[in-house]
Chain A
Amino acid sequence: MLGHKPSLPLPPHRTPRSAVSANLATPAMSIFEYNGSAVVAMVGKNCFAIASDRRLGVQLQTVATDFQRVFKIHGKLYLGLSGLATDAQTLYQRLVFKHKLYQLREERDMKPETFASLVSALLYEKRFGPYFCQPIIAGLGEDNEPFICTMDCIGAKELAKDFVVSGTASESLYGACESMYKPNMEPEELFETISQALLSSVDRDCLSGWGGYVLVVTPTEVQERVLKGRMD
């Protein structure tokens, strides 16, 4: 009896948490659903638009509402990366590194088609241990002809003439873009269409949303806009 101190159980919030959250007791989630994302790109008349949501989550908890998923490679070439956020950032850093070396050697910017092949090769190199990202590449090529393309996480390119989608909200995005898209839209109309498609699709996906970020690129200017969306 003497010396026996009754010990209280540790309160739950004091137990140490590992970096990969301990509540993986949830049924097996896909690695793509760990962070949640939605990225879409559309072609207009001599212009293109690329848009993404702004949520960064850890499974069902939201950690940031201003996460950047669309990155600039050069003035007329943008890269959107959906999927695991850490792989998206690593992949972006490696690609910017390769593009900067290309710029130094060739003294010019990379064409969008060339950049798409570079991304595809980089992803296929990791065929048996891939980066968990689905890139969307959007740019203005020769004669300011818009170019968009997407790939799966091992680099299978899909060139499209109208729109490309990726992320956890991709199924809704396919439906929304399929109905709302029209060919040869001017930049103002293209902005409205891509914003409505993005906002309506992320409203049907728990893991993406919290606003939107849209870039419309024409041969003379780049319009960046932040959209107001549902914050749930």
Chain B
Amino acid sequence: MTGSMDLPAKGGFSFDLCRRNAMLEKKGLKVPGFRKTGTTIVGLVFQDGVVLGADTRATEGPIVADKNCEKIHYMAPNIYCCGAGTAADTEAVTDMVSSQLHLHRYATSRESRVVTALTLLKTHLFNYQGHVSAALVLGGVDVTGPHLHTVYPHGSTDTLPFATMGSGSLAAMSVFESKYKEGLTREEGIQLVAEAICAGIFNDLGSGSNVDVCVITKGKTEYLRNHQLPNPRTYASSKGYSFTKGHTEVLSTKIIPLKQKAEVAEGDAMEE
């Protein structure tokens, strides 16, 4: 077969290994689980803009793979997106739409609108019929005002004044439904979002660690990474483990010095 390696991949998904993987599955080998962000992500609209919040735990089955991951992804200077579901899918889809928005800004010479990001996300997810497992809370402020949307893996969207997604969404929604009102101030909005995320962190096993908050207003975005750290690591002993040198049995050692790369100075152009 000469055709397969001639041209470089044109981008998009490649299905080369699907037949081999299906054969392995039929022979009885289980497909591994992917890293998920079993998560609590929230957003709400306040009087001057939008506040987004997320927890920071990434899980791989029952194990915590990352205790402080970032779930609030950049889309445009005035638009941010929280992602729940399969971690690789949320990262890839938000990165891709962020690049498309940037190209669109160059083409139109205008600030990106939230509905543009929304349409790009929903068409991509619908095209893959839910197999790209990304559940997103998209929020931002553009010329038409503040907007907050949720996007589901199959491509449906909702436009809401407050929204929660992920495994901790019920815990967070209970806080929003009791305490949300229209015309919140910035401090009240941040406080309410932090409370909703904490409800997810403490009551949902798939969410944990710290609270990340992002406040978007007209002309200004503030990303408060680790705004609250309600789960500090207090049990570590101050001395820690110390192993004396030579403690481990070694069979062979090889030391390779690293050559520093010599910088070749650019010569002056020859004078004619």
Q: Which residues of B contact A195 (CB under 8 A)?
A: 248
Looking at A6-14, A36-44, A155-163, A201-209, the stretch in contact with chain B turns out to be A155-163
Instruction: Determine which residue in B16, B21, B58, B88 has the highest number of CB atoms from chain A within 10 A of its CB, and name it.
Output: B88
A166 to B16, CA, bound (A): 25
State how many angstroms separate the Cβ of B117 from the closest Cβ of chain A: 20
Contact with B along A66-92 (1 / 0, CB 8 A): 000000000110000001000000000
CB of B247 within 8 A of CB of A24, answer: no
User: A199 an interface residue at 8 Å Cβ cutoff?
Assistant: yes
Contacting residue for A222 out of B31, B250, B255, CB 8 A = B255
The residues of B that contact A145 with a CB separation of less than 8 Å are none
Q: Is B111 an interface residue (CB 8 A)?
A: no
CB nearest neighbor in A for B131: A128
B243 at the interface (CB under 8 A from A): yes
Chain A interface size, as a band, is: 35 or more
A106 at the B interface (CB under 8 A): no
A110-137 vs B, Cβ < 8 Å mask (1 yes, 0 no): 0000000000100111111111100000
Q: A31–B236 Cα gap in the complex (Å)?
A: 35
> Using Cβ atoms and an 8 Å threshold, which residues of chain A touch B257?
220-221
Residue of A nearest to B37 (CB): A156
B150 at the A/B interface (Cβ < 8 Å)? no
Which A residues are in CB contact (< 8 Å) with B29?
Answer: 24, 28-31, 34
Minimum distance in angstroms from B201 CB to a CB of chain A: 19
Q: Given A156-B91, A196-B248, A221-B255, answer yes or no on A126-B14 (Cβ-Cβ < 8 Å).
A: yes
B69 CB-CB contact with A under 8 Å: yes
- Which residue of chain B has the shortest Cβ distance to A131 in the bound complex? B17
Contacts of B7-60 to chain A: CB distance below 8 A: 9, 12-21, 24, 27-32, 34-35, 58, 60
A130 to B18, CA, bound (A): 8
Q: In the complex, which residues of chain B have a beta carbon less than 8 angstroms from the beta carbon of A158?
A: 35, 58, 65-66, 69
Q: Are B21 and A75 in contact (CB under 8 A)?
A: no
Nearest chain B CB to A185's CB is how many angstroms away? 10
Q: Are B30 and A228 in contact (CB under 8 A)?
A: no
- Interface pair A226/B63, CB less than 8 Å apart: no
Considering the complex, give the chain A residue whose CB is closest to the CB of B252.
A226
Select B18's contact among A125, A129, A224, beta carbons within 8 Å: A129
* Chain A residues numbered 153-210 whose CB sits less than 8 Å from any CB in chain B: 153-158, 160, 170-171, 174, 179-180, 182, 188-189, 191-193, 195-196, 199
Q: Is the CB of A227 within 8 A of B248?
A: yes
Contacts of A211 in B (CB 8 A): 251
A141 within 8 A of partner (CB): no
Residues of B contacting A20 with CB < 8 Å?
24, 27
A191 and B131 CA atoms in complex are apart in Å by 43
Do B30 and A31 touch across chains, with their CB atoms under 8 A apart?
Answer: yes
Q: How far is the CA of A195 from the CA of B32 in the complex (A)?
A: 27
Whether the pair A152, B251 counts as a contact (CB closer than 8 A) is no
Which chain A residue has the least Cβ–Cβ distance from B61? A171
Evaluate whether A128 and B13 lie within 8 angstroms (CB atoms) in the complex, with A31-B31, A152-B87, A223-B255 already known: yes
CA of A220 to CA of B19 in the docked complex: distance in angstroms?
46
Are B241 and A220 in touch, CB under 8 angstroms?
Answer: no
Beta-carbon contact of A226 and B92 below 8 Å: no
Asked if B88 and A124 make an inter-chain contact with CB atoms under 8 angstroms apart, the answer reads yes
Say how far A132's CB is from chain B's closest CB, in angstroms.
7
Inside 8 A of B258's CB, which chain A residues have their CB?
Answer: 75-76, 219-222
Residues of A within 8 A of B256 (CB): 221-222, 224
Question: Which residue of A29, A170, A226 is within 8 Å of B250 (Cβ)?
Answer: A226
Q: How far is B19's CA from A223's CA once the two chains are assembled, in angstroms?
A: 42
CB distance from A4 to the nearest CB of B (A): 39
Of all A-B residue pairs in the complex, the 10 with the closest CB atoms, nearest first, are A129-B18, A156-B87, A156-B88, A192-B243, A129-B17, A152-B35, A228-B249, A195-B248, A154-B88, A24-B28
B→A interface (CB under 8 Å): 9, 12-21, 24, 27-32, 34-35, 58, 60, 63, 65-66, 69, 86-89, 91-92, 131-132, 236, 240-245, 247-259
Contacts A31-B29, A153-B34, A196-B243 known; list 4 others, CB within 8 Å. Answer: A20-B24, A126-B14, A129-B16, A222-B256
7 CB contacts below 8 A, A to B, read A24-B27, A30-B31, A123-B88, A128-B18, A129-B19, A156-B58, A191-B248
